[in-house]
């Protein structure tokens, strides 16, 4: 049998970074093929190579026995390979029918036949999804699940032989996921090949016939989930020895610094309650779209909660803007430092003192001496590799930029620190320095919330860990109660399934 | 058994109120449009006379054609006008084309050469916009502003900032000719409108142009060569500027400095036109209505004896109002 997709020896380098090394992905027709791996394992890279968004550095791609040269979105679509992207790539001002038939419009002479287009769209939606949806509805008026369906219908209208679904369930509720699976099974029965990328291990186990596991840019195994079980697959994904990366700390836990009661942001998370103590590092983890990031946003005044209460030192607070949060001693180290964390056009020194100018000013004038002393001390302490405090931040490496963000918040003496993926895309050395810093802050009696999808980091650094799943806190663990593999199983919902079946 | 019947229907209450708000804005626009016309009809003497109505349509032809150019650029570069592209050079381009046409006629080249020269000039200016926006990735506001200055500068160089008078039989036909009781200028507006309605709203080219402007990445993911469509939109807008320039010269019997000042009404028409569309995107029909509305507004002010200086201010206010209202409706 000819494989639907055969990618062999795929290597991709971005400058000095190797994203994929000799990776293989072979998908047979009539199967649902899972593609899994931890963050940065190379899942999106290999899919983007197949989609023609990235050019591969080396390797061969064969579709239905036909070897592909340079792939572009148009050439791969011509071979019947269609992609359902995670960010729903649809034109918001188009109608459902237009979105489905874009670039494949039924014509009547020199005109588009809207009547035929609408009728065919209705038929397809009914045939595959048993769904009655007015094809003239605007995309922007559809729900997330409906937009997903329109995307899949578009692929089917184009006679897709291979469907690649990138995190298709991320924004769907359980019922919608079940319905999607019904459709996927039907498409499989029709002989189509489906590549299914998901972080949700429970879903992988439920829907996939075969799974390719990626780790550090290579495939480390092709397994059948029904045979080996989820636990084994998770182990294959995370197989990394916990080295000496994580500095130790004797926690000194004080009184509650931040208390959250029944906090709800509609559509993101519901009824979240927890306490954060002085001197504590509290880990929060969840899958993409689980609501963890929204929770931090709500605590920092970037999102206004719909209901519930936030208390700082026992006093109820309502932050409507991040400025209010900062004034009250809450600091946030955002994930996307380029967009939110640093002003890359300013110097290292200016960035570090940006948040704390109040403390270094006297009668409206910045005290340059005090500023310089403070900045130099932090640069030395964090080991920021910079020629000096006058160097522009954009000339530093990513890891050093991240340290500048951390230094910026350190200098302003906050009480509660919200860290959103502070170690993403920084090298190992910089990671350790950030861990040391976190420990130092905690020992000074600060309260830290540490949000990360690197589960090893969470289990090693945190005194306590909360797991968010689809907007709810479903588990709480003390340090040492859980290891990274087990935590992944819980966060991805695999444990939920086991409980149900047990 | 219905597989997906329990997928949530069109987003419930929030989407409902959004649809309602959109409807209210669209209805409001029509009511305001009609209300102002009725007011003029009752207060301004001669407003409803056939002669006056025809004059307004003629006057609106030039504005309308240029606003169509802007509409197509909006459609192809960002139907959300606040984040998308724009062509600030359109009016100056028309001025340059008019200068090219008038000067060539004065130098005795004849229509056979002067008309293609004017059209090609317009398309070259459009190409420059495309290079700036697509190939050099300059933000459209700045890229087309620079091209606007180039066009305005060339116009001044050609005409030495003087009125270049020309008169030919063809121009007489355009300016004063009538066919079936409708003047040539009005015919131009009607024919071009119909052609563009077909291309933009009933042909796959238009659908793809709107897809590129509606969501660049989505269009690219659908296999559309987005850069080519954006180039095309700018070049076609330039072509329209060339066509319009001949109408301008015919109407004024000369190339006159100051065509560049039409930029504000062009923008007002293209932006105001979005209010008449269900999707709040620039459409040919919407722009046509808006251009006529702006024409009637200027005419009504004139008949009521209100200083024409007010018109520019009102157009500016309209732009602010439309952009504010539509973005409110979109985000709410």
Dihedral of the alpha carbons of A495, A498, B1, B6, in degrees to the nearest 10: -30
pLDDT of amino acid B3: 41
What does the alpha-carbon distance between residue A391 and residue A387 come to, in Å, rounded to a whole number? 7
Whether B57 is covered by a domain: the verdict is yes
Q: Do A74 and B223 touch (CB under 8 A)?
A: yes
Print the domain residue range for B103: 47-257
B224: phi then psi, degrees, rounded to nearest 5: -90, 135
Q: Which of the residue ranges A217-226, B46-55, B146-155, B299-308 has the most confident prediction, judged by mean pLDDT?
A: B146-155
Sign of CA dihedral B240, B243, B249, B255: positive
Give the torsion sign (CA, A224, A229, A231, A232). negative
Which whole-number Å values give the CA distances from B143 to B70, B90, B127, in the listed order? 15, 12, 12
Yes or no, beta carbons of A130 and B204 under 8 Å apart: no
* pLDDT given for residue A428 in this prediction: 59
Query: Mean pLDDT for each 10-residue chunk of chain A (502 residues)?
Result: 86 77 90 82 84 86 87 84 80 87 81 87 84 85 82 84 85 76 88 87 85 85 82 71 67 88 88 90 85 88 88 87 84 67 74 64 63 78 74 71 74 82 68 81 89 84 89 87 82 60 34
> Does residue B308 belong to any structural domain of this protein?
no
Q: Is residue B95 part of a domain?
A: yes
pLDDT of B148 > 50? The answer is yes
Interface test with chain B among A77, A91, A183, by most B beta carbons within 10 Å: A91
Mean pLDDT of B11-22: 58
Provide the pairing of β-strand A361-362 with A447-451: unpaired
User: Between these two residues, B123 and B318, which has the higher pLDDT value?
Assistant: B123
Q: Do the domains A243-329+417-430+447-502 and A5-238 match in fold? A: yes
Q: Where residue B97 falls among pLDDT bands split at 50, 70, 90?
A: very high
> Has residue B5 got a pLDDT over 50?
no
Token pair in block for residue B245: 């320039």
> Would you put residue A192 in left (φ > 0), alpha (ψ -120 to 50) or beta?
beta
pLDDT at A425: 61
* Interface subset of A 125-184, CB within 8 angstroms of B: 129-131, 137-138, 141-143, 145-146, 149, 175-176, 179-180, 182-183
Contact call for A91 and B211, based on CB within 8 A: yes
The answer to whether A164 touches A50, Cβ cutoff 8 Å, is yes
Q: Tell me the CATH number for domain A5-238.
A: 3.40.50.300
What's the pLDDT score for residue B296?
87
Confidence band (pLDDT; 50, 70, 90) for B67?
Answer: very high
Residue B190 lies in a domain: yes
Selected residue of A51, A93, A135, A148 to mutate for chain B interface (largest B Cβ count, 10 A): A93
Q: How far is B3 from chain A (nearest CA, A)?
A: 6
Residue of chain B nearest A87, judged by CA positions: B218
Task: Residue A454: name the closest of A220, A171, A242 by CA.
Answer: A242
DSSP-based three-state secondary structure for A59 = strand
Residue A440 phi, psi dihedral angles, 5° rounding: -65, -45
Residue B66 lies in a domain: yes
The proportion of chain B whose per-residue pLDDT surpasses 70, expressed as a percent, equals 92
- Residue B34, Cβ density class (10 Å: 0-12 exposed, 13-18 middle, ≥19 buried): exposed
The 10 Å Cβ neighbour count of residue A338 is: 12
Higher per-residue pLDDT: B38 or B45: B38
Indicate whether B274 belongs to any domain: no
The least confident of A262-271, A358-367, B48-57, B266-275 is: A358-367
Higher pLDDT residue, B173 or B35? Answer: B35
Ranges of each domain in chain A? 5-238, 243-329+417-430+447-502, 337-413
Q: Which two tokens stand for residue B304?
A: 């009521």
For the segment B20-37, the average pLDDT, to the nearest whole number, is 80
Both tokens of residue B190?
């009607």
Q: Has residue B301 been placed in a domain?
A: no
Domain count, chain B: 1
Instruction: Indicate the CATH number of A243-329+417-430+447-502 among 3.30.300.30, 3.40.50.300, 2.40.30.10, 3.40.50.720.
Output: 3.40.50.300
Q: Is residue B14 part of a domain?
A: no
The per-residue DSSP string of B265-284 comes to HHHHHHHHHGGGSTTS---H
* Residue B260, pLDDT score: 78
Q: Could you tell me how many CB contacts below 8 A there are between chain A and chain B?
A: 110
């Amino acid at each position: 049998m000819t494989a639907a997709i055969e990618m062999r020896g795929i290597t991709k380098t971005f400058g000095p970074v190797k994203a994929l090394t000799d990776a293989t992905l072979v998908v047979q027709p009539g199967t649902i093929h899972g593609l899994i791996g931890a963050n940065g394992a190379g899942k999106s890279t290999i899919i983007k190579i197949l989609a023609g968004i990235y050019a591969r550095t080396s390797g061969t791609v064969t579709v239905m026995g036909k070897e592909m040269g340079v792939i572009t979105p148009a050439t791969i679509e011509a071979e019947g390979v269609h992609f359902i992207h995670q960010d729903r790539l649809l034109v918001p001002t188009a109608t459902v029918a237009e979105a489905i038939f874009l670039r494949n419009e039924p014509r009547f002479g020199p005109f588009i036949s809207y009547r035929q287009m609408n009728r065919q769209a209705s038929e397809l939606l009914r045939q595959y999804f048993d769904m009655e949806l007015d094809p003239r509805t605007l995309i922007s008026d559809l729900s997330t699940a409906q937009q997903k369906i329109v995307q899949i219908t578009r692929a089917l209208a184009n006679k897709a032989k291979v469907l690649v679904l990138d995190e298709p369930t991320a924004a769907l509720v359980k019922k919608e996921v079940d319905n999607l699976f019904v459709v996927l099974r039907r498409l499989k029965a029709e002989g189509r090949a489906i590549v299914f990328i998901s972080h949700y291990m429970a879903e992988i186990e439920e829907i996939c016939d075969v799974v390719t596991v990626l780790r550090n840019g290579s495939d480390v195994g092709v397994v059948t989930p029904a045979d080996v079980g989820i636990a084994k697959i998770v182990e294959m994904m995370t197989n990394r020895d916990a080295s000496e990366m994580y500095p130790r700390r004797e926690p000194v836990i004080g009184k509650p610094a931040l208390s959250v009661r029944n906090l709800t942001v509609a559509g993101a998370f519901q009824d979240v309650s927890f306490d954060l103590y002085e001197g504590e590092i509290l880990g929060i983890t969840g899958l993409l779209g689980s609501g963890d990031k929204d929770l931090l946003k709500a605590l920092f005044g970037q999102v206004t909660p719909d209901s519930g209460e936030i208390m700082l030192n026992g006093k109820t607070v309502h932050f409507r803007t991040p400025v209010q949060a900062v004034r009250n001693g809450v600091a946030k180290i955002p994930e996307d430092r380029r967009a939110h964390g640093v002003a890359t056009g300013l110097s290292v020194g200016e960035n570090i003192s940006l948040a704390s100018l109040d403390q270094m000013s006297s009668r409206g004038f910045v005290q340059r001496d005090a500023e310089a002393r403070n900045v130099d001390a932090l640069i030395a302490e964090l080991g920021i590799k910079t020629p000096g405090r006058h160097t522009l931040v954009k000339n530093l490496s990513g890891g050093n930029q991240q340290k500048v963000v951390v230094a910026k918040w350190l200098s302003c003496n906050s009480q509660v620190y919200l860290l959103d993926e502070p170690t993403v895309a920084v090298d190992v050395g910089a990671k350790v320095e950030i861990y040391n810093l976190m420990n130092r802050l905690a020992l000074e009696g600060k309260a830290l919330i540490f949000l990360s999808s690197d589960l090893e980091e969470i289990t090693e650094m945190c005194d306590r860990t909360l797991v968010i799943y689809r907007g709810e806190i479903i588990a709480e663990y003390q340090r040492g109660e859980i290891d990274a593999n087990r935590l992944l199983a819980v966060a991805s919902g695999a444990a939920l399934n086991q409980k149900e079946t047990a | 058994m219905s597989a997906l019947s329990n997928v949530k229907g069109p987003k419930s209450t929030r989407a409902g109120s959004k649809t309602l708000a959109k409807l209210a804005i669209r209805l409001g626009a029509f009511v305001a449009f009609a209300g102002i016309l009725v007011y003029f009809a009752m207060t301004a003497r001669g407003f409803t006379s056939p002669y006056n109505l025809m004059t307004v349509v003629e006057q609106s032809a030039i504005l309308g054609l240029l606003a169509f150019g802007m509409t197509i650029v909006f459609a192809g570069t960002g139907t959300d006008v606040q984040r998308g592209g724009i062509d600030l050079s359109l009016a100056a381009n028309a001025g340059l084309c008019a200068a090219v046409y008038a000067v060539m006629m004065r130098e005795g080249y004849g229509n056979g050469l002067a008309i293609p020269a004017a059209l090609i000039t317009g398309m070259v200016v459009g190409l420059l916009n495309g290079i700036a926006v697509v190939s050099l990735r300059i933000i459209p506001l700045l890229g087309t502003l620079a091209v606007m200055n180039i066009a305005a500068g060339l116009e001044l160089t050609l005409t030495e900032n003087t009125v270049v008078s020309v008169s030919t039989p063809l121009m007489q036909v355009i300016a004063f000719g009538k066919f079936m009781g409708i003047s040539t200028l009005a015919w131009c507006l009607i024919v071009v409108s119909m052609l563009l309605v077909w291309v933009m709203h009933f042909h796959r080219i238009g659908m793809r142009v709107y897809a590129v402007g509606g969501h660049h990445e989505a269009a690219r993911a659908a296999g559309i060569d987005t850069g080519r469509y954006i180039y095309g939109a700018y070049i076609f807008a330039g072509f329209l500027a060339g066509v319009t320039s001949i109408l301008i010269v015919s109407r004024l019997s000369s190339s006159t400095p100051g065509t560049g000042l039409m930029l504000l009404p062009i923008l007002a028409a293209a932006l105001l036109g979005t209010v008449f569309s269900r999707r709040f995107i620039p459409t040919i029909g919407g722009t046509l209505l808006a251009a006529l509305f702006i024409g009637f507004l200027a005419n009504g002010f004139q008949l009521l004896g209100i200083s024409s200086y007010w018109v520019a201010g009102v157009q500016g206010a309209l732009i602010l109002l439309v952009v504010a209202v539509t973005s409110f409706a979109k985000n709410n």
